[in-house]
Structure 1
């Protein structure tokens, strides 16, 4: 017989097994109930998720609608760059300005894919003999054979440097310095050994790719365009007429729009020029070989095909926004469309500025910016306090100063002085021309803000539009 102790141990084993099984059954039942409830409520959860997403989007303020501004779809932006500067100059545009345009093309001297954008070779249409034999095409031949990995570090542009008031690239196989005069000022610009050949075939390819645009806007990688202001400008012009607009400059008897300022060509003018170029390609290539500025070659081709330059300075600027002559009489009330020699950081700054301005004027797409507006809204807020490692383009030498504050005192002693700067050599520089300036090492700058504000206050109000046509 089973002893009482053995019987008790048997019952304990049975009940322990039953509890474990019961717990397993209960867990399975709970999981099944949860799955059924989730399945039955899935449409509700999906609708809730959509409502949350809609709410999140609703509380994020929308940005300016650049691409649907009046005239945007009728306008093509063409950016010209080069393999030696592309990696330094193009990324900022891909993240800012090129996002605004419904249609754009990027030309270089080497066809490639760069950050999901296809870069066209502007030199593709140049005659094969010239490309195979001209010393100017040495860089192009190396790129064609080996790709951009063949570029040496000393051939890459790196950061732009300041040369006699202009931004340039030293020791670059595509550039060398040339001095010329524009509007009474001596400028140092950069002639492009290879780049000069891009202009005419680039225009030909542009028309082939986009034959039906009304306006063609050509820019460089250090150009900034106020997009809405540009479109308002174009809305005041008749695109069916042969237009060639830009900041005027001359080399000998040839007047043309400087490339870095940006220039605009209407469809009729572009078609006439391309047709003329195709009939005289050899002549223009010979002329380009003996010349040094491709934008001048383009100006000649446009003039030869029947379209002279419409002088559009000061709407198109050859200077950076930080180095302007805010003359109350000549340009204060004129619209401003473009700036040249603009660094990547300044392009970001201007892009953010335009975005904020467009948000403030979103109810009026015919609003545009004048030089006066840029001074008030962009320049003045940046002149409140001194900046270290900053050059505000003060140029009158007042001698040695112990500190930036001491330099300010020298400026205050002259009623005409508006701003001052202290160099690494402790030279105090001042000027009566107000300017924002730009980042620079070994120099610090400041402004007498009350006087700069007065410079703005005493200027006359601007009335009506003053578009150059």
Structure 2
């Protein structure tokens, strides 16, 4: 939270980019940073699941916070490694946070999910979503598959339309509790969410959530400096990067702020605007 989120507050979530009322933050520990309130996505997990070994790190949070130990490491007093197990805990957040968002923001058209080590080029994403009828059930993002489930890759970012939420979470208000055991038995929260949506007839893809599983390249599950720029993606729209560092976020925001979004932002434009100048300077 203190290592990854802060840079987003002055870039990704700056007031000129997106209204504060249109954002919500979830973590596994409640905090307040300025005017931003972070919601504990796991607050309503059942006592039985919270008592499991997977939640050891969750139960230890108050103790570490009480001793002014930040669950990070940066070489200064207090910033030491906290309890291990964050990745194990992470998978439990997806279903309850989507359920919570839908219950508390019922009038929106889209729920757009982004992780703290990702960057979404918001104008590109909104332009992409405008090509779909938000009144239809849509589940959109980057293709991923695991455990016989096709789903939207969480790190690349994804979007769920309100009707897709209504058809799934709206139909089953107990979805979060129903999926606690399944989550414990599987590896990844985005896969768990995909399974939950599939069960009620909402599938990943660009054709009203049917079985086509067609998708547009541009939601990227890796960072730009590990991405293979080539002729097949050169002229496709750029929506996101994943596994980014704070420096990347700052540079992406500066690049986005200077781009004229009356024309699409393509992978080609990003390469020529950010990577080519770096290569030139190094040469």
Place the TM-score, normalised by the shorter chain, in its bin: 0.7 to 0.9
The match for 2:9 among 94, 112, 117 is 94
Distance (whole Å) between structure 2 residues aligned to residue 204 and residue 156 of structure 1 = 29
The residue that corresponds to 1:324 in the other structure is: 227
SS at match of 2:26: strand
Relative distance call for 1:326 and 1:259 in structure 2 (3 A) is same
Cα deviation 1:287-322 (Å, max 9, x = unaligned):
011112111100111111211112535210011122
What's the CA shift string for 1:61-100, capped at 9, x where partnerless?
Answer: xxxxxxxxxxxxxxxxxxxxxxxxx110011001111112
- Aligned-partner SS, 1:194: helix
Unaligned ranges ≥5, structure 2: 76-80, 206-213
Look up the match of 1:71.
Answer: none
Structure 1 residues not aligned, in runs of 5+: 1-85, 160-169, 176-191, 387-445, 447-469
Q: Is the radius of gyration larger for structure 1 or structure 2?
A: 1
Q: TM-score, normalised by structure 1?
A: 0.54
Aligned length: 266
Aligned partner of 2:32 in structure 1 is: 113
Cα offset for 1:384? Answer: 0.4
Greater relative contact order, per chain length (Cα 8 Å cut-off, separation 6+): 2
d(CA) in 2 for partners of 1:334, 1:93: 25
The reply on whether 1:253 has 2:179 as its aligned counterpart is: no
Q: Name the structure 1 match of 2:54.
A: 136
**Aligned match of 1:156:** 72
| CA RMSD, Structure 1 to Structure 2 (Å) | 2.2
Q: Is the 8 A contact 1:277 1:301 kept in 2?
A: no
Question: Please, which of 129, 133, 152 is the counterpart of residue 238 of structure 1?
Answer: 133
- Residue 264 of structure 2 corresponds to 368
Report deviation, 1:147: 6.3
How far, CA to CA, are the matches of 1:172 and 1:258 in structure 2? 27
Decide which of 84, 96, 109 is 1:173's aligned counterpart.
Answer: 84
Matches of 2:158 and 2:74 in 1, distance apart?
26
- Check 1:147–1:113 CA distance in 2 against 1; reply closer, same or farther (3 A cut): farther
Q: What TM-score, normalized by structure 2, do the two folds share? A: 0.87
Contact 1:229 1:367 (C-alpha < 8 Å) held by counterparts: no
In 2, are the aligned partners of 1:136 and 1:193 still within 8 Å (CA)? yes
- CA contact 2:56–2:85 (8 Å) conserved in 1: no
> 1:255–1:296: 8 Å Cα contact kept in structure 2?
yes
The structure 2 residue matched to 1:338, chosen from 221, 240, 244, is 240
- Please list, as runs of the form range in 1=range in 2, the aligned pairs for 1:22-41 lying within 5 A after superposition: none
The answer as to whether partners of 1:277 and 1:284 remain within 8 angstroms in 2 is: no
Alpha-carbon distance, 1:225 to partner: 1.0
**Match for residue 312 of structure 1?**
215
1:370-449 to 2 correspondences below 5 Å? 370-386=266-282
| Aligned-partner SS, 1:110 | coil
